[in-house]
């Protein structure tokens, strides 16, 4: 492998904490920029187009995640496979996995585009979207899903780069796309008064740009890392591995997304003020996910590479460091959210009722963020060791069945939006207990033997 190709990072030697932190920081910054431009969408729409438009955009997160989460999970599964072959220096399998992943991503992106455009009105109606918000939501989602091929391919390309330890390139590309999105938001919504259509169009353009920049990076790499568009095709064996790793993660994401969409449907019954306040809180809460996501991705890559290299104890030490780091940072942010919630919610809309709902939700959930971090971090560890089914079943039981059942039953007796907010700390805590048992039962040596070519 040439020195130029080795700009990707081999995490199987050197300081454990430095590798994880150096990988996690660009992911954290990238997620921060992504969250900022998603938040900026809501701020611009809320300020220039009114609270009905804010409710339409704010309610978009759960539906978009439901439609895209399965495909994002598949790309995560592909990243696990690629990190195993990269750590084990198996260039033939690495090359086959990369090209299979891109082929799979392209097909998934086309399927998502068609499904999103066709089924958006039916899904929004099923979610009991209020009549004053429904037309705006339909416009926003249909434009967004028209560009979903770029979103899926961006996640595919980013997953490949990150599996090989390169978290800096996606950061650069995301910063460029984020700044573009901010400028277009101001132009389309603030100047041209395009409302939610302008916000959706700006998002699609930025996604196309980020996907194109990632593609260019992969085309310019050398050796077995380089993407050759003429060789993009399915390798049966690598496709089987990607599906085996990716489908449980995709189903896990979909389970969470379906549960969240069901929760959103309950929120919608409280009216547009509650929708806007709940959505504003969700945007603020999105920042809490940044360190969780960053360290989770770093752990999956670190563990995958080291198990591929047969270094089980090094993988175990990295998992322990990543879990604790994610929990400490998430809880620190939670304390800040608790204190600053009124100011943060007012950034989106200063209607007193909207602010009251958002602040109430933030203060119920914020001190339990350590549990959310622990659950996601251990899920990442399980994916790295090849046990993607455990997070899927745990979240099916805790984050879907338990959460939805609790909300549906309790709201019949207590008609208060706080019931919905309390569902999150409850299910996070229960899932943590299950994940802790699973984590301490990992056989690290066996996990290394199952993936390492040595």
DSSP class of residue 305 equals H
pLDDT (0 to 100) of residue 119: 85
pLDDT in tens, 351-379: 889 899 999 999 999 999 999 999 999 99
Q: How far apart are CA 417 and CA 382, in angstroms?
A: 34
pLDDT of residue 5: 44
Can you say whether residue 371 is alpha, beta or left, with left for phi > 0 and alpha for psi between -120 and 50 degrees?
alpha
pTM over 0.85: no
Q: Helix H segments across 88-147? A: 91-126, 134-146
Q: Which of these ranges, 257-271, 330-344, 409-423, has the smallest mean pLDDT?
A: 257-271
Task: Report if residue 72 sits inside a domain.
Answer: yes
Question: Distance between CA atoms of 215 and 225, rounded to whole angstroms?
Answer: 12
C-alpha 433/C-alpha 340 separation (Å) is: 30
- On whether residue 233 sits in a domain, the answer given is yes
Q: Does residue 390 surpass a pLDDT of 50? A: yes
- Asked if residue 3 is part of any domain, the answer here is no
pLDDT score at 1? 41
Q: Is residue 20 part of a domain?
A: yes
Query: For the chain, what percent of residues have pLDDT higher than 90?
Result: 32
Residue 214: the pLDDT is: 93
Distance of alpha carbon 271 from alpha carbon 312, whole angstroms? 52
Domains held by the chain: number: 1
pLDDT band of residue 323 (cuts 50, 70, 90) is very high
Map residue 220 onto helix, strand or coil. coil
Mean pLDDT of the chain: 85
Task: Give the 3-state secondary structure of residue 386.
Answer: coil
User: Per-residue pLDDT for 268 more than 50?
Assistant: yes
Express each pLDDT in 26-42 by its tens digit.
888 877 777 776 677 77
- Can you give the pLDDT at residue 138? 85
Tell me which of 49-58, 171-180, 377-386, 440-449 is least confident.
Answer: 49-58
Say if 322 falls within a structural domain: yes
CA distance 44 to 53: 10
pLDDT at residue 407 in the model: 94
Which residue has tokens 């460091």?
A: 321
Give the total residue count for the chain. 454
Reported as a single tens digit per residue, the pLDDT across 143-168 is 988 888 998 999 899 989 988 888 88
Domain that holds residue 343: 13-451
Distance from C-alpha of 400 to C-alpha of 253, rounded to nearest angstrom: 11
Least confident of 28-37, 119-128, 281-290: 28-37
Residue 383 lies in a domain: yes
- Residue 4 falls within a domain, yes or no? no
| 204 part of a folded domain | yes
Taking residues 74-87, what's their average pLDDT?
85
> Nearest Cα to 234, choosing from 47, 376, 102?
102
């Amino acid at each position: 492998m040439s020195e130029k190709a080795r700009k990707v990072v081999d995490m199987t030697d050197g300081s454990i904490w430095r590798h994880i932190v150096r990988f996690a920081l660009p992911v954290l910054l990238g997620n921060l920029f992504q969250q900022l431009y998603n938040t900026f969408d809501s701020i611009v729409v809320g300020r220039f187009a009114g609270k009905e438009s804010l409710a339409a955009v704010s309610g978009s997160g759960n539906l978009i995640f439901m439609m895209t989460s399965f495909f994002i999970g598949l790309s995560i599964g592909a990243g696990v496979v690629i990190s195993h072959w990269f750590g084990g220096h198996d260039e033939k399998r690495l090359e086959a996995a990369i090209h299979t992943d891109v082929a799979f991503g392209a097909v998934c992106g086309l399927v998502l585009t068609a499904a999103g455009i066709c089924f958006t009105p039916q899904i929004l109606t099923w979610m009991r979207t209020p009549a004053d918000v429904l037309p705006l939501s339909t416009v926003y989602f249909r434009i967004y899903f028209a560009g979903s091929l770029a979103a899926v391919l961006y996640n595919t390309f980013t997953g490949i780069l990150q599996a090989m330890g390169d978290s800096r390139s996606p950061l650069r590309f995301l910063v460029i796309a984020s700044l573009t999105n901010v400028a277009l938001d101001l132009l389309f919504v603030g100047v041209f008064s395009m409302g939610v259509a302008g916000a959706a169009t700006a998002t699609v353009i930025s996604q196309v740009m980020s996907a194109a920049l990632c593609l260019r990076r992969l085309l310019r790499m050398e050796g077995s890392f380089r993407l050759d568009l003429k060789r993009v095709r399915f390798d049966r064996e690598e496709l089987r591995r990607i599906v085996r790793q990716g489908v449980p993660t995709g189903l896990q994401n979909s389970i969470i997304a379906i549960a969240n969409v069901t929760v959103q449907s309950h929120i919608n019954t409280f009216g547009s003020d509650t929708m806007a306040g709940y959505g504003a809180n969700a945007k603020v809460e999105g920042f809490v996910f940044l360190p969780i996501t960053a360290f989770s991705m770093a752990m999956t890559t670190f563990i995958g590479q080291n198990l591929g290299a047969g270094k089980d104890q090094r993988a175990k030490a990295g998992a322990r460091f990543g879990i604790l780091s994610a929990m400490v940072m998430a809880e620190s942010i939670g304390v800040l959210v608790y204190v600053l919630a009124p100011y943060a919610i007012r950034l989106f809309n200063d209607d007193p009722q909207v602010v009251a709902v958002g602040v109430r939700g933030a203060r119920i959930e914020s001190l339990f963020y350590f549990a959310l971090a622990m659950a996601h971090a251990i899920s990442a560890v399980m994916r790295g060791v090849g046990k993607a089914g455990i997070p899927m079943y745990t979240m099916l039981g805790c984050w879907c069945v338990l959460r939805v059942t609790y909300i549906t039953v309790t709201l019949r007796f207590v008609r208060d939006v706080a019931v919905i907010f309390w569902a999150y700390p409850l299910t996070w805590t229960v899932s943590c207990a299950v994940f802790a048992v699973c984590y301490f039962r990992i056989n690290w040596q066996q996990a290394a033997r199952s993936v390492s070519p040595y």
